[in-house]
Amino acid sequence: MAGGKEITTKIRSIENTRKVTSALEMVSASKIRKSQALMNATRPYARMMRRVMGHMSKANPEYRHPFTIEREEIKKVGYIIVSTDRGLCGGLNTNLFKLVLNDIGLWQGKGAQISLVTLGKKALAFFKNLKVEIAAHASGLGEKPQIEDLIGSIKVMLDAYREGTLDRLYIVYNDFINTMTQKPTMERLLPLPATDDEEIRDIWDYIYEPDAESLLDTVLVRYIESLVYQSVLENLASEHAARMIAMKNATDNAGELIDDLTLIFNKARQAAITQEISEIVGGAAAV
Amino acid sequence: MSKTIRCDIVSAHEEIYSGDAVMIFATGVVGELGISPRHAPLITQLKPGPVRVQQPDGEEVFFFVGGGILEVQPHIVTVLADTAVRADDLDEAAAVRAKEEAERELQDRTGEMEVAEAQAKLAEAIAQLQALEQLRKRLKR
């Protein structure tokens, strides 16, 4: 029976692969639900933050924070790139990096320098081969990222912005739209997009404790941190969704391969049987 | 005239409290605060400590916050609680750590990524050797 043994071994090995991919698929499916719950739990904070910021922008500001002032000349552009630690999640990271590369190209064309913060191992591995500065890095954030793990990397960029060595800051991450769709997204963090200044204000102001400057600073820093944190969670949910889809495809493909191989195996066996019979018949006729 | 004030307490991880209150007590950086309905607009940083909310039914609820921001509007109080322990030198240390992490990963030639790359190359080389071996066997025959 020609090749029968080889084909069965191959079928068995693909069956094992299929077991692994379908297990990974199920793991990711359950993780999506958890990370979605995390994502939803952080929404009230962002909503309240925006409410307070809205009130603050309506109050009588005798002081404008540097984070809200647009700079004329852009010498250096920063990106916070949110990626995954692990692979096997389809084109999730690649699509994101393509978006960043395009934008970096545009700024470099204008003569601006680039500085990156990479969150997640995949971003670091990708961007360290490029000739760009990597100012800070954090990885191993796990299934339940903590805001503490992000503060440091964010502060590096905020300090650079305060000192005037950085003129723009973007965040790039995969926006979780639903399980089937994740969208690579780029948003501007600094300078903060302006709120409409035109509306007529009532004349009122806060009682600031201790003072307006340090309070505004604290609120803005917290706001940016909460935006980055939200992005990290979005990206985490996207990662699990993308991995689930990738693994589902792999499982389906393995199934098709097994079907094809089984067909080949059956044909080979039938051919062998036919051959044996004709040999016996031929032998009997000769006698 | 309402005798209650709306109170929202949130942290980056979750919504902690949302409802009406008669009076809210908290510890600001400047001192203890008691906020009743129609308080003047105020915004303050909070010290780590308890936040006490008196509900309209007379019951009191306590929350511990590790610092944060408290904003008062005439009919609404918002507490943005910090989950992380914050201090300038702690933040500074975290920033330094993040920088070092990047430098270390960039310097480290035996980092995980290199190991993975080397393993991939090794697997390729082994496959080539095996192919050569099979070719040789076939030629001998």
Does A63 lie at the interface with B, CB-CB under 8 angstroms?
no
- For residue A194, pLDDT beyond 70: no
- Mean pLDDT on A51-63: 75
List % helix, strand, coil for chain A (3-state, nearest 5): 60, 15, 25
What is the token pair recorded at A153? 């990397």
pLDDT at B128 over 50: yes
Q: What 3-state DSSP class applies to B108?
A: coil
A185 to each of A175, A220, A227, A240, how far by Cα in Å?
6, 22, 13, 17
Which B positions 50-109 lie with beta carbon below 8 A of chain A? 69, 71, 73, 78, 80, 82-84, 91-99, 101-102, 105-106
Contact B45 A124 (CB under 8 A): no
Mean pLDDT of B70-84: 87
Quick one: pLDDT band at residue B112, thresholds 50, 70, 90?
low
Contacts of B102 in chain A (CB under 8 A): 117-118, 124, 134-137
The kind and range of the H/E element at B8 are strand B5-11
**Consecutive H or E run containing A182:** strand A182-190
B95-105 mean pLDDT: 81
Q: Among positive and negative, which fits the CA dihedral A228, A233, A238, A239?
A: positive
Quickly state the pLDDT bin for B61 (edges 50, 70, 90): confident
Report the 10 Å Cβ neighbour count for A167: 20
A59 contacts on B by Cβ (under 8 Å) = 41
Number of alpha carbons in the 13 Å side-chain half-sphere of residue A235 = 31
Query: Which residue in A5, A24, A52 sits closest to A249, CA to CA?
Result: A24
Higher pLDDT, A97 or B2: A97
Distance from CA of B54 to the nearest CA of A (A): 21
Q: How confident is the model at residue B109 (pLDDT cuts 50, 70, 90)?
A: low
Looking at residue B28, the DSSP 8-state letter turns out to be: B
CB-based contacts of B13, cutoff 8 Å, min separation 6: A41, A42, A45, A147, B83
Strands B76-81 and B60-73: antiparallel
What was the pLDDT predicted at A202? 60
Q: Does residue B113 belong to the interface with chain A, where contact is any CB pair within 8 Å?
A: yes
CB contact under 8 A, A135 and B94: no
β-strands A76-82, A168-176 pairing: parallel
Tell me the pairing of strands B5-11 and B23-27: unpaired
Using a 10 angstrom Cβ sphere, with 0-12 exposed, 13-18 middle and 19 or more buried, the burial of residue B80 is buried
Contact between A167 and A71 under an 8 Å Cβ cutoff? The reply is: yes
Q: Can you tell me the mean pLDDT for A237-243?
A: 95
Span of A57-71, A226-240, B70-84 with lowest mean pLDDT: A57-71
pLDDT mean over A104-133: 91
Average pLDDT, chain A: 88
Residues 6+ apart with CB under 8 A from A241: A28, A32, A176, A178, A179, A180, A182
Q: Does A17 score more than 50 pLDDT?
A: yes
User: According to the model, what pLDDT value does residue A79 have?
Assistant: 95
Give percent of chain B with pLDDT exceeding 70.
87
For residue A59, pLDDT beyond 80: no
Residue B68's closest CA among B53, B90, B86, B52? B86
Tokens matching residue A179: 């399980």
* Contact assignment for A210 to B8 by CB distance below 8 Å: no
A133-138/A113-119 β-pairing: parallel
Averaged confidence pLDDT in chain B: 82
Kindly report the number of other CB atoms within 10 A of residue B11's CB atom: 23
Higher pLDDT pick, A83 / A65: A83
Q: Residue B108 — very low, low, confident or very high, per pLDDT cuts 50/70/90? A: low
- pLDDT at residue A113, rounded to an integer: 92
The set of residues, in sequence order, having a beta carbon less than 8 Å from that of B11 and lying 6+ positions away, is A45, B65, B68, B80, B81, B82, B83
Contact A4, A265 (CB under 8 A): yes
Q: Which residues contact A6 (CB under 8 A, 6 or more apart)?
A: none
Residues 6+ apart with CB under 8 A from A144: A38
Q: Tell me the mean pLDDT in the region A39-60.
A: 83
What pLDDT is attached to residue A174?
Answer: 95
Q: Residue range A22-41: average pLDDT?
A: 92
Angle at A53 between CA B84 and CA B61, to 5 degrees: 55
pLDDT tens, A141-151?
888 888 888 99
What is residue A129's predicted lDDT score, i.e. its pLDDT? 83
Q: Name the band, by pLDDT with cuts 50, 70 and 90, for residue A1.
A: very low
The CB-side HSE value for A167 (13 A sphere, CA atoms) comes to: 11
- The residues with which A175 forms a beta bridge, in sequence order, are A183
Task: Give the mean model confidence (pLDDT) for residues A11-36.
Answer: 93
Q: Which candidate from B18, B43, B92 shows the least CB-CB separation from A215?
A: B43
Q: Which residues 200-259 of A are in CB contact (within 8 Å) with B?
A: 204-210, 214-215, 218-219, 222, 225-226, 229
pLDDT higher at B131 or A6: A6
The pLDDT of B95-111, averaged and rounded, is 75
**CA A215/CA A230 separation, integer angstroms:** 22
Contact A45 B29 (CB under 8 A): no
